[in-house]
Structures are given as C-alpha cells and as structure tokens.
Copies of this chain bind each other. A is one copy, B any other.
Amino acid sequence: MADADTPLVLIVDDEAAQLALLGYNLKAAGFRVATAKDGDEALLAVAEQGPDVILLDWMLPRLSGLEVCRQLKATPAGRDAAIIMVSARSEETDRVRGLETGADDYIVKPYSVAELIARVRANLRRLRPTSSGQTLEVGDIRLDPDTHRVTRQGQVLHLGPTEFRLLGALMERPGKVWTREALLDRVWGRDIYIDTRTVDVHVGRLRKTLLSQGGEDPIRTVRGAGYAMG
C-alpha cells in the first residue's frame, strides 16, 4: 500500500487538529502523508521527501503561507510538486495572489473531504504533463508553466494571471471544447460565483494579446457550447 509509487502528500498547518484530520482522511483515501508545522519544516520536508502534492495553509507562524509558496517554487523539489493553498479567506485578492505566487490550486474553508480528495487527485493528474517543466505547445504558441512565459513565433507576450491560466487550460487539451462553466471551474476555481459572461471577456482579452503580433486566431468559438484551442 504505502510503497514509493503511492503519491506523497505534505500537509503544512500549524494546528495539530487540522494535521490529524487531514492526515486521517488522506490516508483513508490511499495517500502517503507527511506533515510540517511551519514554513521551515515544510522547506526541509520538501527537500528531503519530495512530495507530489503540498497542502499549504495560508496562516502560518513566522513565514506566511504565501511566502512559503514562493520559496518552495524556487526550489527544484518544490517546482515538481503541486501546491494547493488552503485558506479560510475567500477574498478574490487572496486567491489571485496565491496563484500568482505559483500555487497550482486553491481551496477555501470550509471544504468537504470529497472536494479535498478530488482536488489532490486532480492536481496529481495534472502534475505529470505540465508541472515538471513541460512547456505546452499549440501551433506557434508556447506556454512555459515554470517561468510563466508565453511566446508566439518567438515574440514574448504579456498576459495577466487569469489570462495565463485560461490559456494554460485551453492548451492543455487542444481541440477540446470547454464550456464556460468548466473554464470557471478550472481557471477561477470551484465554489466561485462569477457571471459566465466574464469568460467571454477574458477570452476576448486573451485573443487580443495573441493576435497583437499578427497570425491566425488560435481560439475557436463553438456557438452554444464554449471555446476550444486550435
């Protein structure tokens, strides 16, 4: 059961009760579990054990979760892991800042165990193709998840955080038609209540940037359904 192929989840939280609860549920779901009480322990554990997923609490003593995230993403082992920020604060700003710092996902308290497990699994799946420095490429567009850099025909394009994640989602499965709802899930996060038309606006902004250096429109609008890449 707990062999090296079993995904390792590192839980970083300063509350012992949280560590116990999360650990219990994750073990029950078949994961290996490591724990850390603060940022320093977390950095050490990441370097030593190389976890696949890191559950990182927002509120930590000494270093904030945000700062820990930044430092983790600066280490080789940290870049190979998916970081899920856990927060009691639901404000948009926190989420954006978390994702900008390099977190791969975000979950807001209170969350369900089913949701947590689903998130961990989803990020594990996503880990393989993208997170290990794998640059996405569709046509003449390249997206580097590590450096957050997008180029078209060598030209570097500047994208906002949301548009970057939007493009990343579209490029991850070229051709697949995403409904606006699915994109809200994938790009904005679950349990976020946002007008679906907002997706249209961001697609428009993304298109504008992608077309700024000329070239064809790489995003296909499927009337009545959603959007797709390629």
Say yes or no: A99 contacts B113, CB within 8 Å: yes
Contact A118 B112 (CB under 8 A): no
Distance in angstroms from A27 CB to nearest chain B CB is: 14
Q: Is the CB of B191 within 8 A of A175?
A: no
Known contacts A147-B176, A175-B147: A126-B130 contact under CB 8 Å: no
**Closest approach, in angstroms, between the C-beta of A103 and any C-beta of chain B?**
7
Q: How far is B193's CA from A115's CA once the two chains are assembled, in angstroms?
A: 7
Q: Would you list the 4 A-B pairs with minimal beta carbon distance, nearest first?
A: A161-B224, A105-B112, A147-B175, A104-B114
How far apart are A81's CB and chain B's nearest CB, in angstroms?
12
A interface residue count range (under 10 / 10 to 19 / 20 to 34 / 35 or more): 35 or more
Query: B103 near A112 (CB under 8 angstroms)?
Result: yes
A126→B115 contact, CB < 8 A: yes
Which of A's residues lie within 8 Å of B, judged by CB?
17, 21, 25, 82, 92, 95-96, 99, 103-106, 108, 110, 112-115, 117-119, 121-122, 125-126, 130, 146-149, 160-161, 175-177, 181-182, 185, 190-193, 222-225, 228
How many chain copies does the complex carry? Answer: 2
Q: Which of A96, A99, A176 has the most CB of B within 10 A?
A: A99
CB <8 Å contact, A104 and B112: yes
Known interface pairs A112-B106, A161-B225, A224-B161; A175-B149 also in contact (CB < 8 Å): yes
- Name the distance in Å between A222's Cβ and chain B's nearest Cβ: 5
**Distance of A193 Cα from B182 Cα, bound (Å):** 30
CA gap between A161 and B222 in the complex, in Å: 9
CB distance from A140 to the nearest CB of B (A): 20
* Contact A106-B110, Cβ < 8 Å, known A148-B228, A224-B161: yes
Most buried by B among A115, A130, A175: A115
A73 → chain B closest CB, angstroms: 12
